[in-house]
Copies of this chain bind each other. A is one copy, B any other.
Amino acid sequence: MAIDTKERILDVAERLFADSGFATTSLRDITSEAGVNLASVNYHFGSKEGLLSAVLHRRIGPVNERRVARLDEIERFKGQDAAKVDEILRAFLTPPFELRAELGVRGATFTRLMGRVHTETNDEFRQSFVGQLSVVVARFTQALQRALPSLEPTELSTRMWFLIGSMAYTMMWGESVGLGEGGTRDPETVLESLIEYGAAGISAPAREPVPVRAGRKSRGAGA
């Protein structure tokens, strides 16, 4: 028994954090389900926050590395300016789905966790998370900007944000009841839909920059 306490804790914590969130999951929940001693968490990870950090960074790093690697590959083979929007989005969106498949039965949990990560408000974690993600997103935004030179940079950033929101929401709730009728769709199909939806949205022609002098903006209360 006790094949690898540290690993067991990480696996169970990942599942419980993904299902119920960080604040509502107690160390007792984790250790009892993992079959390890309560004190071992503090021994191995220092604190509950330390455990959260370990759980998340075990997954986040690889995802972002793959994203960048895929984009590198595209640009190396096709040249920086030849990458198309859907190819760029595929490079960004595929890694979490790919890792999900590689993790087998743990895949669903991993996916929920990766979705939840985007909504986590724990200050310390969020700062580190956003810091890492920003670097990756900046790289992808540059690539997209080259594919869509006429699109205003701030508008492009906003749209990239929309994409991330769709991705996070889908990962978080994709496997649960869902909103619409039609039952769950398999992850690969959803990924394809997301790429094609996002590509169309990001490539949409921009509206006139600041539509002030038209009839708009007359209604509505002040801020």
What B residues does A20 contact at CB under 8 A? 121
Q: A44-52, A57-65, A198-206: which one contacts chain B?
A: A198-206
Asked if A188 and B162 make an inter-chain contact with CB atoms under 8 angstroms apart, the answer reads no
What B residues does A23 contact at CB under 8 A? 21, 23-24
Q: How far is the CA of A180 from the CA of B191 in the complex (A)?
A: 24
Interface centre among A130, A199, A206, A223 (most CB of B within 10 A): A223
Closest chain B residue to A207 by CB distance? Answer: B196
Asked if A177 and B220 make an inter-chain contact with CB atoms under 8 angstroms apart, the answer reads no
Chain A 206-223 against B: per-residue CB contact (8 Å), 1 yes, 0 no? 110001000001001111
Answer whether residue A68 sits at the interface, using C-beta atoms and an 8 A cutoff: no
Shortest distance between the CB of A223 and any CB in chain B (Å): 6
Q: How far is the CA of A163 from the CA of B165 in the complex (A)?
A: 9
Answer whether residue A38 sits at the interface, using C-beta atoms and an 8 A cutoff: no
By size class, the interface of chain A is 35 or more
Q: How far is the CA of A15 from the CA of B195 in the complex (A)?
A: 36
Interface centre among A153, A169, A202 (most CB of B within 10 A): A169
A-B CB contact pairs (8 Å), 23 listed? A21-B121, A104-B221, A116-B119, A137-B179, A153-B182, A154-B180, A154-B182, A157-B182, A158-B180, A158-B185, A159-B193, A160-B179, A161-B170, A161-B178, A162-B170, A162-B197, A162-B198, A187-B223, A192-B211, A196-B207, A199-B204, A201-B201, A201-B204
